[in-house]
Structure 1
Amino acid sequence: MPSSPPVPEPASGPAVVGPQDPETAAVERARRLTDVVTRLRRTLRSSIRTDYPWESLPMAQVELLQTLAAAPLRVGELASRQRLAPNTVSGLVGKLLEAGFVDRQADPGDRRTARIALTPAGRRQLDDWQRAHERRIATALDALSPADRDAVMHALPALENLARALAEPVL
């Protein structure tokens, strides 16, 4: 008697069935989370550009604008916070300077260096980006079942804790 083909696992179900050692289970959880986060970011980015064609800022530039929204910073400080090489941040800052989204200001603590600050145009761009993403995510959340929407919202505190844990240096 021929065996029937395997039934694919539902999207919300476990990816691996059967006993596993704790390390394998941890790696599998990390793989699934990485996959979901990557797909969420990619899908959001592409849907935003379809729904809001004016939104063309690369994510690395948006992340710099988000960091600068709190306060002006030196390039080295930006690089450290973004965990990027200073020359990479310098290139991104150059693009943002050309676009008029940031400017250089004298550093009151050290006149030999400059701080990068958000301009009013940069603030508007960041606010527009934020509103477009909020509208897109709100629409997608509304399309979910109430149980899935509640599950996503209940997961947020744990995801925030995970983000904090990932930001801490590995010892």
Structure 2
Amino acid sequence: MSSVDESIRTLLLLMPRMVGRTKRMKVPDELAGMNLAPRHLSLFAYLLFDGPLGVNELAERLEVTPATVSLMVGELSRKGVLDRGEDPADRRRAIVSLADAHRDAIDGWLARSARAWRQALEPLTDEQRELFLKTLTTYEAAL
């Protein structure tokens, strides 16, 4: 078993490589030139996995203000990546979804990371996965 210091050293060397590889993931051709950032990937992942969501729900999940989400959604809607409609049950509430024309490209883009995470997490027990996720969440909060 490695010491805490050895583990920290390993992670300090590993994390920049992981981030670098993630940044080098090729943006699908149809989304190239749209100045997409990691925050957009998180937005896309929520909409892909959870389906259409309200602006306030997205803001809560992304841990940003509703105004920030509205700006992101407005920009991506103008580019045709997202659809923004009104909730039939409450016309004041905007519902955001991935545009059908870009859904496959976004799914393919996120699938590579999902496959890598699946390869890393599947061999673990439920308890080990829970500990891993808790550890990453604790690390993020400490930053």
Normalised by the size of structure 2, how large is the TM-score? 0.65
SS of 2:53 mapped into structure 1: coil
Contact 1:101 1:121 in 2 (8 A): yes
Match of residue 60 from structure 1? 39
TM-superposed deviation, 1:156? 8.4
AA aligned to 2:57 is E
Report the CA distance between 1:32 and its aligned residue: 5.7
Please point out which of 16, 40, 63 is paired with 2:5.
Answer: 16
CA distance in 1, matches of 2:107, 2:92: 32
User: What are the within-5 Å matches in structure 2 for residues 1-171 of structure 1?
Assistant: 14=3, 16=5, 29=8, 33=11, 36-46=14-24, 48-49=25-26, 54=29, 56=32, 57-69=36-48, 70-133=50-113, 152=120, 154=123, 158-159=128-129, 161-163=131-133, 166=137
Percent of residue pairs bearing the same amino acid type: 29
Root-mean-square deviation (CA, aligned residues, Å) is 3.7
Stretches of structure 1 that go unaligned for 5 or more consecutive residues are: 1-12, 18-27, 138-148
Pick 1 or 2: higher relative contact order, CA cutoff 8 A, min separation 6. 2
Rg bigger for which structure?
1
Corresponding pairs, count: 130
**Which runs of 5 or more structure 2 residues have no equivalent in the other structure?**
none
